[in-house]
């Protein structure tokens, strides 16, 4: 496991593709948003999905042009905080961030040409 810190509270390995291919380079703007979420809420943030290689993205049913494949996205869960609360805080603090609402997590990405917003609850 890579123990390289990419921010005060996150390791590079937390953003790595879950298939084990080694893809773990994540966009600094995405890290900035995720770290800000951790700082604001003051509780652990779990990265459910960060980087995805094209093969893993297909295997998990990711969108064809997923920002995860471009290392610009993270699906996050904040301990004890509802995904709606996380979504709304990011939308207010980072209006150019793209956000997806899900029942158990919040998707955040820093795509060019954003923001995109969707609701998959």
Output the CATH code of domain 5-119.
3.30.1380.10
CA–CA dist 47, 15 (Å, integer)? 7
pTM to 2 decimal places: 0.95
Q: What are the extents of the domains in the chain?
A: 5-119
**Helix, strand, coil % (nearest 5) of the chain?**
30, 20, 50
- pLDDT tens by residue, the chain, 121 residues: 678 999 999 999 999 999 999 999 999 999 999 999 999 999 999 999 999 999 999 999 999 999 999 999 999 999 999 999 999 999 999 999 999 999 999 999 999 998 999 999 8
């Amino acid at each position: 496991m890579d123990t390289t810190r990419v921010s005060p509270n996150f390791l590079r390995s937390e953003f790595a593709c879950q298939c084990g291919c080694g893809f773990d380079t994540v966009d600094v703007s995405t890290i900035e948003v995720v770290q800000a979420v951790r700082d604001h809420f003051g509780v652990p943030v779990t990265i459910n999905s960060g980087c995805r290689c094209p093969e893993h993205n297909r295997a998990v049913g990711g969108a064809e042009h997923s920002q995860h494949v471009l290392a610009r996205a993270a699906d996050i869960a904040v301990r004890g905080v509802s995904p709606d609360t996380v979504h709304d805080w990011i939308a207010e603090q980072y209006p150019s961030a793209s956000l997806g609402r899900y029942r158990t997590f919040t998707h955040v990405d820093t795509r060019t040409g954003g923001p995109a917003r969707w609701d998959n609850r």
